[in-house]
Amino acid sequence: MMGPSHAACGAAAWVALTGTYTVHLADVSVPVGLGVMPVGDPGVITGALICAGAALLPDLDHPGGTVARSLPPLSTWVARAVGKLSGGHRRATHSLVGLLLIIVLALLSQRASVPVGDALRWNSFSWPGTEGQAGEIPDAAASLPGQVWPLAAVLSVLLIACAVKVLAFVPDRLSHANWIVGILLGAFVAANPPQNPRWFVVAVGLGCAVHMLGDLLTTQGIHLLWPLRTSLPLPTTFYKGRSFVRFPVLGNAGSAREIALLVPVTLYALAGLFCAGVTWAGLTVSI
């Protein structure tokens, strides 16, 4: 599956998981989102950015791919290292083991927090000039958020930059501008995080799982059980070689069938993001 398809499917999956909207068309009501994990209207938008980027993350095993060129030179170095460790394209990072490792990485990055502002208020602490007033801190520090997550922030910038690169928002000749776009959108996500403590891990895991599913539906398939080379009890038509599992209903990557799937998926994702933006702004739209 091509990069734009992966990104669109990631955003659509997040909308489906978190959206709680209903579009009224004449006498027909169309639900947009299952509301399984409500995250608030801003969270639908910001989480979709991360999930769309995470849906491209497994392709970091391809040093010559578009994702590897998203944040030069850092992403190129990372892609070369990942490609060597994973054994090549569509292997480790497209496997169940790889998915588990990525989820663990997201979990660790979310837990690696640094206290700032109000989180610095503990009883034994006092600033100079505030003796006898334990726990008091300057107003500037008190205005800061309680915690920041530096590793999650760095990973968010990388994920967003991947989506920006694949969707061609920034021309190739201005590829270094992806740093600026990624950091700005990363700050936007940090300022408007989804209202669920597990959102980052879920978004990253969901995006990667959607990527694996998309590639599983192409003729090339994925090494699902990497590093094992044992075969599942499936007909040989569902295998490419000995280890790559496939259910090639979409044909080759970039096929007409993939494009036919991409159109409704993209429209669904855009509908969910539009509903989230309208509701967040306190507006209503009647059709």
Q: How far is CA 226 from CA 61, 68, 80, 219, in A?
A: 14, 22, 19, 18
Burial 64-89 (b: 16+ CB within 10 A, else e): ebbbbbbbeeebeebbeebbeebeeb
123 φ/ψ angles, rounded to the nearest 5 degrees: -60, -30
Spell 27-44 as b/e; 16+ CB within 10 A means b: eeeeebbeeebbbbbbbb
**Is residue 248 in some structural domain?**
yes
Residue 169 counted as domain residue: yes
What is the amino acid identity at position 64? G
Q: Are residues 276 and 161 in the same domain?
A: yes
Instruction: Look at residue 168 and tell me if it is in a domain.
Output: yes
Is residue 166, in this structure, part of any structural domain at all? yes
The verdict on 69 and 155 lying in the same domain is yes
- Are 141 and 262 members of one domain? no
This prediction has a pTM of 0.84
Domain that holds residue 126: 116-147
pLDDT tens string 46-91: 999 999 999 999 999 988 887 887 887 888 898 899 999 888 889 9
Q: Is residue 218 part of a domain?
A: yes
Query: DSSP class of residue 230?
Result: P
Same domain, 109 and 121: no
Domain count, the chain: 2
Same domain, 79 and 210: yes
Distance of alpha carbon 4 from its chain centroid, rounded?
13
Chain segment 116-134, per-residue pLDDT in tens: 554 444 333 344 454 444 4
Domain match, 137 and 225 both? no
DSSP state for residue 233 in the 8-state scheme = S
